Every structure is written in structure tokens, then in C-alpha cells.
Amino acid sequence: MLHVSMIGCGAIGLGVMELLKSDPEVAFDVVIVPEAHMEAARPLVFSLAPHARVADRLEEQGQQPDLLIECAGHKAIEEHIIPALKRGIPCMVVSIGALSERGLVEKLEAAAREGKTQVQLLSGAIGAIDALSAARVGGLDSVVYTGRKPPGAWKDTPADGLFDLDNLQTATVIFEGTAREAARLYPKNANVAATLSLAGLGLDHTQVRLLADPGVTENVHHVEAKGAFGGFELTMRGKPLAANPKTSALTVFSVVRALGNRAHALSI
């Protein structure tokens, strides 16, 4: 059985526990939330993982989890993931957009080496990460990502105020630049760009276009990559998570897949 500690009890974390509550090979032992949110989190966690304990941090003594997974947002990486890696606890990270911060990837790698363990960056809302990583081995020439979402998905972002999101009549480019800048400005909407860049050409050499499009009701991701391997194009139309329209439902499913690959006898 895989004993898991999880950071976060929001839409992603609860969705993951819901899908895995009947899996006999995955056990959630600890769910980490800020101290101020612990009382509210306890009944939610108990309904899905009755044996799990809610805490504001991992204990430094006693039984350590087989795996710590971040489903809480960017701050959790510095606060919880890096210390856990240094202690030798394998980790998974969902909030890839956080790695647009200069030096944070290197901090993660250094912490994992210090603890003689590994941190896995999850694919989240996008596919073909395996193909892109393999293509990088032979040499990539270009990777271009275009993200297209309904105008409402860009509320409370830098685009809100710069554009009249409530009254757009046509698809409008709200950002064009590098993946690093996209992830910095739109961290809750541009994790895909950061994920693609870390699998491919890097944050400063992956090109990104973000559009607010009143003609779509789903999150549309388009990737075009070219290199020594040839080329590929991928288009995905992801439905948003019902509990959080800024999060793709596929993000939850990617976490469940990753945990299943760790816990089950057959992995793909």
C-alpha cells in the first residue's frame, strides 16, 4: 500500500481523494492545510479518507509518508516540498507554474539530491509530455503553445481591466511572450505553458499565446513542436473542474494516474 500525505484540501485535492477513496492500494494518511483552515477541512477530509489526519505540517519525527504530493498552490513548494525532499521524502508537484520563478527549479533539484530522493512534475492539463521530452533528446527547434479559454476564465488576472472581458465579440490575444512570463503573470491559468517548457526548450525559449475567446466554452490547448524527430501538433479541449473553473478536470485525473502508477503493479 502507498501511504500518501497531501498538501491542500481544495478542488484538486478533494477531487483526487474522491476518485481514490475506493482504491485499496492508496492510503491518505495526512492532509496538510494552513492552521486557520484545519477545522473546516476536517469534515471534508473525513468524508473521503476517514483515517487521514489533518495537520498544518508534516511531523519531523515518526513515520514518514511514502510520498508527499502538492495540490495547494505555489507557496506550498517552498514551505513544504523543499523541506520534505531534504528529508528524503519523494514528492510530486502539481503547481508547475511556480517554477517560472528564477532559481526554484534548481532549489528543487538540490533538495532532492540532498535527500537522495526524487521530485516528479506532473503533466496536469496537457498531454504529449512524454513525446516532447523524448524529442528534446534528439534536438528541438521550436515549441509554441496557444491557450484559448472563455473570457470568464481570465477574470481576476492581469487581463481583467486591460480588456472588457464581459463584452468581447471575437477571440482576443491577451498575452504573447515566453512561457516564463506567461506563468508569472497568469499562474493559475498558464501551468500548461510552464509544464511544456520544462519538458522541452525551457521557460525562456518556449513561445506562448493566450487568448480570451467568447466562441469557446472549454479550455483549448494547442501545441506545435518541431525538431530532429520531425514535428507534431496537439489540440486538447479540456473541460474545467466543476469546483474551480480555472482548473482543468484533467489535472485531477493526472494526479490520480500518477498515484496509481506508484501504487499499482502495472505502470504506464
Per the annotation, binding residues for NAD(+) are 125, 191
Give me the catalytic one of 51, 221, 222, 264. Answer: 221
Residues 6 or more apart in contact with residue 247 via CB below 8 angstroms: 11, 12, 125, 188, 240, 241
Annotated binding-site residues read: 125, 191
221 is an active site residue: yes
Distances (CA, A) of 194 to 64, 130, 148, 204: 30, 15, 16, 10
Please choose, from the candidates 1, 79, 66, 77, the residue with its C-alpha nearest in 3D space to the C-alpha of residue 30: 66
DSSP 8-state code for residue 169: -
3-state secondary structure of 227: strand
Q: Which residue has the cell 492581469?
A: 158
Supply the residues annotated as catalytic: 221
